[in-house]
């Protein structure tokens, strides 16, 4: 793992050491304050560039083009909400996705490294986290070309872990609004306000390649703005759950990836 991650900077291989505990502590403090934490230069430049070189031809030939109009919930209707409620306003998403069964190398090695899941669990104050059993959804790499983005949504899992592999020249920014809803309060009026561009608490993040980002995606509305310029935005999305064996439904697999597996 030392060839992929700088373990001197980020001692994930030494759980419970003072350095590991300090890293977990600062990640927890950031999560509590901002709903996210970032570890810059988490993956080394060599494996980053190698991964981009391996995956670029696959994006040209075998990636699924995710292009659809959807609302922030990725659901046709929400019980108790009239179809014309502004929280159900539709937006368009376009990007290309490679699924877990198409991504190997450093990304898969990191995804399946037990010490990485254990570190993430500690930052989130959970007893354990497990990779998904879903051959498609477990770890994805997404590519956004000029004009492409991912529109407003909430994630299925409580936390989302991303690793930017290649930053675009401009655009492709990550915009988010932490704690827009909660388990007990869907806050549809707040959702409508965000979609109308009128939420003063929306924040924007420009990531650098190699940065690990962890955020509370289930109740944090977020989007990726359209990329500008010729350099694609390429990002790995790693999904963990508190129980082993998590899978998407067949309908979700087809909606996100165009196939079931
Ligand atoms: O591309 C990103 O930065 C975010 C990806 C994301 O939100 C998702 O895959 O659910
Ligand atoms: Fe997301």
C-alpha pair distances (Å), 239 with each of 22, 152, 244, 259: 24, 19, 12, 19
Which residues make beta-bridge pairs with 141? 98, 236
With cut-offs at 50, 70 and 90, classify the pLDDT of residue 86: confident
Measured in residues, the chain has a length of 261
Evaluate whether 158 touches 218 at the Cβ level (below 8 Å): yes
CATH of domain 18-257: 2.60.120.620
Q: Give tens-digit pLDDT for 195-206.
A: 999 999 999 999
Please state the atom number of ligand 1 nearest to the C-alpha of residue 237. Answer: 9
Q: What spacing in Å lies between the alpha carbon of 179 and ligand 1's midpoint?
A: 17
Arithmetic mean of pLDDT, 62-83: 89
The token duo for 47 is 């494996």
pLDDT > 70 in the chain, percent: 100
Give the start-to-end residue ranges of the domains of the chain. 18-257
Concatenated DSSP letters of 148-210: -BEEEE--SSS-EEEEEEE--SEE--EEEETTSS-SS---HHHHHHHHTT--TT-EEE-PPTT
The residues, ordered by sequence, that sit 6+ positions from 128 with a Cβ below 8 Å of its Cβ are 117, 118, 121, 242
Q: What spacing in Å lies between the alpha carbon of 125 and ligand 2's midpoint?
A: 21
Position 170 pLDDT exceeds 90: yes
With cut-offs at 50, 70 and 90, classify the pLDDT of residue 95: confident
- Please state the ipTM of this predicted complex: 0.97
Q: Give tens-digit pLDDT for 115-129.
A: 999 999 999 999 999
CA distance 4 to 13: 12
Q: Is 155 in the pocket of ligand 1 (CB under 6 A)?
A: yes
If one residue of 95, 162, 165, 172 were mutated to test the ligand 1 pocket, choosing by the most ligand atoms within 8 A of its CB, it would be 162
* pTM score above 0.90: yes
Q: Select from 225, 178, 37, 215 the least CA-distant residue to 187.
A: 178
CA distance 147 to 176: 19
């Amino acid at each position: 793992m030392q060839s992929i991650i700088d373990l001197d900077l980020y001692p994930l291989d030494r759980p419970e050491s003072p350095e590991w505990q300090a890293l977990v502590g600062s990640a927890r403090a950031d999560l509590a304050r901002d709903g996210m934490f970032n570890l810059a230069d988490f993956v080394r430049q060599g494996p980053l560039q190698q991964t981009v070189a391996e995956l670029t031809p696959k994006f040209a030939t075998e990636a699924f083009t995710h292009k659809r109009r959807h609302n922030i919930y990725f659901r046709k209707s929400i019980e108790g909400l009239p179809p014309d409620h502004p929280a159900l306003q539709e937006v368009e998403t376009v990007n290309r996705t490679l699924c877990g069964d198409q991504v190997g190398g450093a990304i898969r090695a990191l995804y399946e490294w037990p010490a990485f899941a254990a570190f993430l669990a500690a930052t989130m104050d959970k007893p354990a986290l497990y990779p998904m059993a879903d051959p498609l959804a477990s770890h994805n790499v997404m590519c956004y070309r000029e004009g492409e983005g991912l529109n407003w949504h909430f994630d299925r899992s409580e936390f989302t872990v991303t690793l930017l592999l290649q930053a675009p020249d401009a655009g492709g920014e990550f915009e988010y609004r932490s704690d827009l809803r909660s388990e007990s309060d869907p806050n549809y009026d707040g959702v409508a306000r965000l979609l109308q561009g009128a939420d003063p608490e929306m924040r924007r993040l420009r990531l650098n390649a190699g940065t690990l980002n962890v955020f509370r995606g289930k109740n944090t509305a977020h989007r990726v703005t359209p990329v500008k310029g010729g350099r694609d935005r390429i990002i790995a999305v790693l999904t963990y759950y508190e129980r082993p064996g998590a899978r998407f439904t067949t309908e979700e697999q087809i909606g996100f990836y165009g196939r079931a597996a």
